[in-house]
Structure 1
Amino acid sequence: MQKVVIWGAASGLGAAMVEHFVELGYDVTGVARNPSKNPFLAQVSTLVCDATDPQQVENTVEQIPNDAWVISSMGSFQAQVSVDYIGHRYLIDALQSKGIKRFVLVTSLGCGDTWPFLSDKAKAVFGGAVREKSLAESWLQTSALDYTILRPGGLKNGPSNGLGVLSQSGEVHGSIARGEVAALVQQLLQSESSIKQIYQCVE
């Protein structure tokens, strides 16, 4: 049974991905600073980690088998210490040091070369977090990991619905259900052609 380790599992997209992969029978471990925020995590193995602490990240990664699929959608909008860049930098470095290869980083539309397509309003509200996520993407792209980057549009509650569309170029706007993002992450993990690729997705 494939091991899947999901960082940011206590809420939002990470929580939706835990449920998706559990329902499909994967061996799931959720990683979160406060797992008690997500009652569903009582059904799976969990690891407690504050990703802004490099030693905690290293200790947590040491507990992950090398053949695991690792997924992260960690984020901390308007937090005093943002995890978006530094937490992912620590995680990427620790995965590389341990020899864990397969990693999917979920960021958002507006990151990297899609920044010009983000509205002025969105830049004013979320711009700081998007720039931090863009730094994480750059750090990942210069690592030795077998990475895939996924940039979803606006996230909404809901299960997988088969409406998600992956693309790799052009201006994209729209929203997507968290469960559908989880299904697309699964699809990308199962495809070797997605390694070292960047995708965007909306419904």
Structure 2
Amino acid sequence: MDSVILFGASRGLGFEVARYLCAIGIEVHAMVRKCESVAALEEMGVNVVVGDALDREQIKSLLDLSPDNAVAVSTMGSFQTDIPVDYIGHRLVIDELEQRNIRRFVMVTSLGCGDSWQYLSDKAKAVFGKSVREKSLAESWLATSQLDYTILRPGGLQDGEVTEQGELYTDSEIHGLITRSEVARMIYQLLCDDSTIGKVYACVDPVFTNNINK
């Protein structure tokens, strides 16, 4: 794996994924909606296209500039956006990837999606419920696609360094915290492991969670 196409690199987790991949020598092609993120990403060595995943033509523009042997990652979310991108944006990305030779795709959603909805607290459902439902729809669309997918549902995202202590779980009832940098490392780990294709994982960092709760 030499190249990664990254959707959702403007801020937060996506930005940390771009940073991690560039640091280990992976070529990154990223789409961002926020122009203010471009300079920082380009300084890291990211090939940036400013665009919106709600526009299929702009998705095509990014893919046209990316190597055919690239793999894809999405951390897209609808924080501070007028129109949710979680489902429709991912649906457009997935549909376009299916038209290309780009088969491998890791999509990051969140705890509470899909079969883990029942374990989400009432407070979390009230605050994040709409976004989680949108992401759950995206998971379903991906799971019925032709892509070689892996779905990753991180716990509560925190600032911090790579710990190499993050753990993957297939149990739906998981709670905890994890740093964005550690999730970035785990995404790379998933991309390198074909045995994770077609699977859904939750991830938290037991050490980080225990330290926060002390």
Both proteins in one fold, TM over 0.5: yes
Question: 191, 196, 199: which is aligned to 2:198?
Answer: 196
Cα deviation, residue 162, structure 1: 1.4
Residue matched to 2:69: 67
Q: For 2:152, what is the secondary structure of its paired residue?
A: strand
Cα deviation, residue 47, structure 1: 1.3
Structure 2 contact 31–48 (Cα < 8 Å) conserved? yes
The 1-side partners of 2:71 and 2:39 are apart by 23
Residue matched to 1:8: 8
1:179 maps onto 2:177 in alignment: no
Cα deviation, residue 175, structure 1: 0.9
Residue matched to 2:41: 41
Structure 1 gap ranges (5+) = none
Question: 75, 80, 83: which is aligned to 1:81?
Answer: 83
Q: For 1:124, what is the secondary structure of its paired residue?
A: helix
Structure 2 gap ranges (5+) = 206-214
Amino acid at match of 1:190: C
Which range is displaced more, 63-72 or 183-192? 63-72
Number of residue equivalences: 203
- RMSD of aligned residue pairs (Cα, Å): 1.3
Cα deviation, residue 53, structure 1: 1.3
Structure 1 contact 89–139 (Cα < 8 Å) conserved? yes
1:154 maps onto 2:153 in alignment: no
Amino acid at match of 1:3: S
Identity percentage of aligned residues: 50
Question: 114, 118, 143: which is aligned to 1:141?
Answer: 143
Cα deviation, residue 35, structure 1: 4.1
The 2-side partners of 1:10 and 1:55 are apart by 19
Amino acid at match of 2:110: S
TM-score in terms of structure 1 length = 0.95
1:21 maps onto 2:21 in alignment: yes
